[in-house]
Chain A
Amino acid sequence: MKTAQEMKPNSVALIDGQPWLIQKAEYTKSGRNSAIVKMKLKNLLSGSSTETVYKFDDKMEPANLDRIEVTFSYSSDSVYVFMDGEYNQYELNADDLENVLPFIVDGMTDICNAVFFEGKVISVDLPTTIVRQIVYTEGSARGDTSGKVMKDARLSNGTVIKVADFCNADEWIEIDSRTGEYKSRAKAPV
């Protein structure tokens, strides 16, 4: 058993014997209120979705999942295709990738993990740290070099994230794929 706080997006919980994919998990602790985790769940058998709230220390039963390494091949409409080392292709809908979709870009070379439940691919995990290119951001108005002042920056797929004020268009940056937060400047991937 794991606590609700330990259950991360793309993991699967067994609830009343049914497998539920955790598509989103938002932890909140505020004032005297209970620390809670709000989850968006998708039933892997019926496809239905629901939202729940758990206290952070409520116990949940994780399902056994298998993972294999894949890379992103292409997308067509809302279908995303990944391929393993033996050229097997795995198709996922945008809905299945909700958590990582903001960071899937054409030409990405990240080694990802396709996640399987009882032989069926259910989602994809990105590496914790990914490198992406800024295609547009405003110039640095204040000349801040501390990294504490943040501004919006747009990636090639249209995703907008907060980056340090000193970052420029065309630069490459490291992002924490779990949180979507900017980490640092980076070199262009080779």
Chain B
Amino acid sequence: MRVTCDIFCTVIDNFGDIGVTWRLARQLVAEHDQIVRLWIDDLQSFCRLCPEASNEDEVQMLQGVALHRWPRQWQQVYPADVVIEAFACQLPAAYIESMAQRSAPSLWLNLEYLSAEDWVSGCHGLPSPQSKGLYKYFFFPGFTPQTGGLLRESGLIEQRLSFQQDATARQQFLQRLGVSPQPDTHLISLFAYENPGIGSWLETLSVAGQTTHLLVPEGQIVADLQRWLGVGKLVAGDLHSRGALTVQIIEFLSQQDYDRLLWSCNLNAVRGEDSFVRAQWAGSPLLWQIYPQQENAHLQKLEAFLKLYSQGLSSAAKAALLAQWRAWNSGEDMRESWQALLDVLPELTEHAENWCRQQAAQINISAALVQFYKNWVQCAPKNTFPPSLPGN
């Protein structure tokens, strides 16, 4: 019997939540032969990530995944073997009711946001008693073996290396995007939220001895670029040069093409969660803009990752990395920090590849979920407290 899985996702803002759940759904189908329904409340946003999707259809099959519009008026369905509420979204009450009525209980998981903080490993996989004798388990992605790992498709690193070793493939891909960088120019991708400090960074790039070609998928940061360039509305295809810096707007990319963009660049500025993880699989230096929170609640999370990621760097490279990432996330002037980063870029490039290999040696989220389910089934879950602790 194939295992069935329902994944629920509400789109809060941006593309991180649906990006993660869409990847996970595809991977559970392609690599674990599961029957997956992905419930999304905002198909319009989804269509940008997956251009072959339709905003009109209530149900559509995409890459083996049954994509469902999450209706406001819930229509009863038989619950799946595995139920994933992504990022603590609220499941329909009637669906929870039917989970409780199943003869064999569903495994109910809350897939949480990614964090490198220490407390995550102590909470990963723990049960949470709910009403009607149901138990929900907290599933935390992370960077250590005590967590659920990161989303990574089978063969991803090999695909990336193959692409990077094939100069023609890279050139053809960039040409398809309308990008023709000069030889020896630094190619940097920029996917970011608004950033009040970005002007100082652009200024630095424009007066540098090294030329830079900045590739910017359409998104929130474009408004900041318009202001700095002193131009009107920027759209895909627009290209402006200021000194050593060329800024080019490109269209919003599918997940597969965004990967290739990351693989093509010398450095990637990324944001949130999904692009942040993809940039790590790209094996190139990255600059992470964490999702900003009130009262700077996000900075603790940033520091936790920096602490982990900077292990093994020389003191100079570590100092440069920390300074640049902190400046990037606090909107500070980046002239000094960027120069310091460039000085250690070769070391950061080698480090990024090592980090990628280190993380790729760990279990990925979909495999960890499947293993968690297998263990849970073997524990013969009974609706009594405490439930079994299946572990990874």
Contacts and interface: CB of A to CB of B under 8 A. Distances in A.
A52 interface: yes
B117 to A, nearest CB: 6
Contact of B123 (A29, A36, A48, A59): A36
Contact of B129 (A15, A29, A32): A15
Nearest to B299: A31
A31 B297 contact: yes
Interface of B: 87-88, 110, 112-113, 115, 117, 119, 122-123, 126-131, 133, 138, 290-291, 293, 297-298, 300-301, 384-386
Contact of A34 (B110, B122, B384, B386): B110
Interface residues of A, number: 24
B297 A51 contact: no
Given A30-B301, A52-B386, 18 more contacts: A20-B385, A30-B119, A30-B297, A31-B113, A31-B115, A32-B87, A32-B113, A34-B110, A36-B138, A38-B119, A38-B122, A41-B386, A50-B385, A52-B128, A53-B126, A53-B127, A54-B128, A58-B130
22 contacts: A16-B129, A16-B385, A31-B113, A31-B290, A31-B297, A31-B298, A32-B87, A32-B113, A32-B298, A33-B113, A34-B88, A36-B123, A38-B119, A38-B126, A41-B386, A48-B386, A50-B385, A50-B386, A53-B126, A53-B138, A58-B128, A59-B131
Q: What secondary structure prevails in chain B residues at the interface with A?
A: loop
Contacts, number: 66
A60 to B, nearest CB: 9
A28 interface: yes
A185 interface: no
A52 B127 contact: yes
Most chain B beta carbons < 10 A, residue from A20, A41, A55: A55
Nearest to B131: A59
A109 interface: no
Contacts of A20: 385
A58 to B, nearest CB: 7
Interface string A77-99: 00000000000000000000000
A48 B119 CA distance: 23
Max count, chain A CB within 10 A of own CB: residue among B110, B130, B386: B386
Contacts of A53: 123, 126-128, 138
A15 B130 CA distance: 9
Contacts of B130: 58
Nearest to A34: B88
